Structures are given as structure tokens and as C-alpha cells.
Amino acid sequence: MSHPRSPLHRVLRRLPLNAAAVLTVVICLFPVYWMVTTAFKPSTDIQSYDPRLIPRAWTLDHFHEAVSADGFGLFWRNSILVTLSAVLLALLVALGAAYAVARMRWRGRRQFMLAVFVAQMAPWESLIIPIYIISRDTGMLDRLPTLTLVYFMITLPFTVVVLRGFIAGIPPELEEAAQVDGCTRAGAFRRVAFPLLAPGLMATSLFGFITAWNEFTYANFLIIKQQDSRTLPVWLSSFQSTFGTDWGATMAAATLFALPALIIFLALQRHVTAGLASGGVKG
């Protein structure tokens, strides 16, 4: 006859897992904490040889300098425009492709999904030179639509994979019942299946937003001459000069830059977790 385990035994058994979780959280959040606190430190404390975890004094001067920097509003507009356009375009195309793969039977369906997985695993940095040559030869250098298409290309495979798994998890009988009641196939999907895709759409939208919002390499490589077409990640490098880096302003700018993605993630966290779990397990 087995004896019930004492609460102390359960606590001791979970202690290594809890310690590992706490250590992981500390390691991941410490750079963010250091960035934010540095943004509020006076310049004398930033340059001090005796760094402190908790600042002795606080200032908003670095944020004022970041907001007053040349191109602040313009680069914010560029990033918002490119990011939202890429995410919406990826959702529109991926939704049709995912529905076709999950609901329809056609020759080459498996090969199509294999190609999507290969595209998802491919390092996009390896395509910088081919994309640069194509953009140069087609006259698309130094243009925001080029960045939009690149970000669309980067986020599309992941969006297709997640939405395909999520659509496959919705019973097709629901759409068939709607069709029996007089709906067309498109109408049944729009009225029945589409509302159930909200968590999956939010998960893929967040991934696409963070990917496009944080991307630096293509924005720096494809926008060379037209400074007004650059995005926020490139703008962060403007705080470096021949005299060194203004770390206070740089950290303040980085904090402002991280706020939109953080706010969106916190707002959609519950739906995003459900969407990733459903899209990754089902189908």
C-alpha cells in the first residue's frame, strides 16, 4: 500500500524545476532591465566604473534627446507602415494557402507544405545578396515597398504552417452544416470557421509584427541613399558618431522602440499561447 507523499517531498521534488525557471527568467530579463535602467541614469552614472543595479538618480533627459533626434517621427511612420502592411499581406495570402492545404485535396499538396517548411528553416540572411541584386536590377532599391515584400516573404511560411494546423483542428462538419443551410463554401468559412481562427490569427500576427518591427539587416542593406525611407532599427544607429556612442540616448531610444511589441504581446498573450498550441499540435 503506497503512502501519500508529504507536501515537503513535493516541494523538494519541484525545487530544481522552479530554480531552473527562475534562473531562465532572470537571464532573459536582465538585459531588458539593464537597458531600461540605463535609459533613466544620468550620463555620469552610465560612464562610472562602479556600475549599480539600482540607479542612484533618475533622469528623463535621454528620452528627450531620443525624441528630439532627427527623423524620430518619420522613421516611426516608416516602421509602422512597413510592418503592418507586411503582416496584413502575409495573413491574407497565408489564410488562403492554409485553407487550401487543410481542407482541399489536390496534387502536390504535400510537396507544397514541404517547400513551406524548407522556406521556414532557411536562413534569410543568406538571401541578402540575391535580393539586393534583384532589387537593384528592377529599380526597387531605397523604397519601402521593397522592405514590405521582404518582410512578407520572411513571415509567410510561419503564418501558413500555424494557420494550416489551426484550420485542420476545426471540424469540417461545422462548415458542411452551414452549407446545408444555404451558405456557399466561402460564406461557411467566413461565418463559421473564421471566428474560431482568432487565436491563430493573433499568434501569427504577433510573430510577423515582431519579426518585421525588429529587422535590421535588410532595412540597412536595401535602403542606402534615401535616408528618409529608413526604419527604426536603422535609426538606433544614429546615436553613434566618430566621438563614440551616446549610451543614454541609445538605451532610451531602444526602450521606446521595444514598447509597441511589448504592449501588443501583453495584450494578446493569452490568445497567442492558445493559438500556438492549437496550431502546433493539431493537423
Domain 71-281: homologous superfamily in CATH:
MetI-like (1.10.3720.10)
**For residues 165 and 98, what is the distance between their CA atoms, to the nearest angstrom?**
8
The Cα 190–Cα 95 span in angstroms is 11
List all residues 6 or more positions away from 12 whose beta carbon is below 8 Å from its beta carbon: none
What is the C-alpha radius of gyration for the chain, rounded to an integer number of angstroms? Answer: 24
pTM beyond 0.75: the answer is yes
Distance CA 205, CA 211 (A): 10
116: closest CA among 150, 153, 161?
Answer: 161
Show me where the domains of the chain are located: 1-59, 71-281
Give, for all 283 residues of the chain, the pLDDT tens digit.
445 566 777 777 788 888 888 899 889 889 999 999 999 998 888 888 887 888 888 889 889 988 888 778 888 899 999 999 999 999 999 998 888 888 888 888 888 888 888 888 878 888 888 888 998 888 888 888 999 999 999 999 988 988 888 888 888 888 888 888 888 878 888 888 888 888 888 888 888 898 899 888 888 888 777 778 888 888 887 776 655 678 888 899 889 998 888 888 887 776 665 555 554 444 4
- What is the spatial distance between Cα 175 and Cα 51, in angstroms, rounded to a whole number? 62
Note whether 159 and 133 are within 8 A (CB): no
| Side-chain-side CA neighbours of residue 256 (13 Å) | 25
